[in-house]
Each structure stands twice: as structure tokens, then as C-alpha cells.
């Protein structure tokens, strides 16, 4: 996912702090020139997380 994150930055998206702490731990949030936010996440569907938003083992 590192290449995708760098690519977003080069295309004018700004990396910002997520409103939801879950996405701060489990993704990367960007805002575009119009103020719309996009979250990139790289996990398999169905992963179980505990109450803190961290993946449960």
C-alpha cells in the first residue's frame, strides 16, 4: 500500500488525521482539493477487531 499512499500525495491529495480513531489505526486518510475525504485500507474483509480498533489475534 506504500506505493498507493505516495501516489496519492503526488496527485495533490493531502494526508490528514481521520475523524474516526479506527481509521487512524487501520487506514490512511486523504482529503482532495474539494474537501472530500478518502480512506485507504489494506486488510481482508471479515477481520475481527477488538474495542480499540486493533486486530484481535
Distance CA 17, CA 14 (A): 10
Of 29, 6, 3, the residue nearest 16 (C-alpha)? 29
- Is residue 12 predicted with pLDDT exceeding 70? yes
pLDDT above 90 covers what percent of the chain?
35
More confident residue, 51 or 37: 37
Alpha carbons 5 and 20: distance in angstroms, whole number = 19
Q: What is the pLDDT of residue 34?
A: 92
pTM of the shown model: 0.62
Taking a C-beta distance cutoff of 8 angstroms, is the pair 21, 53 a contact?
A: yes
What distance in Å separates the CA atoms of residue 37 and residue 27, rounded to the nearest whole number? 12
Amino acid at each position: 500500500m506504500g506505493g498507493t499512499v505516495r501516489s496519492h500525495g503526488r496527485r495533490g491529495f493531502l494526508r490528514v488525521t481521520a475523524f474516526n480513531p479506527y481509521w487512524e489505526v487501520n487506514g490512511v486518510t486523504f482529503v482532495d482539493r474539494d474537501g472530500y475525504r478518502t480512506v485507504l485500507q489494506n486488510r481482508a474483509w471479515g477481520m475481527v477487531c477488538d474495542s480499540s480498533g486493533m486486530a484481535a489475534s
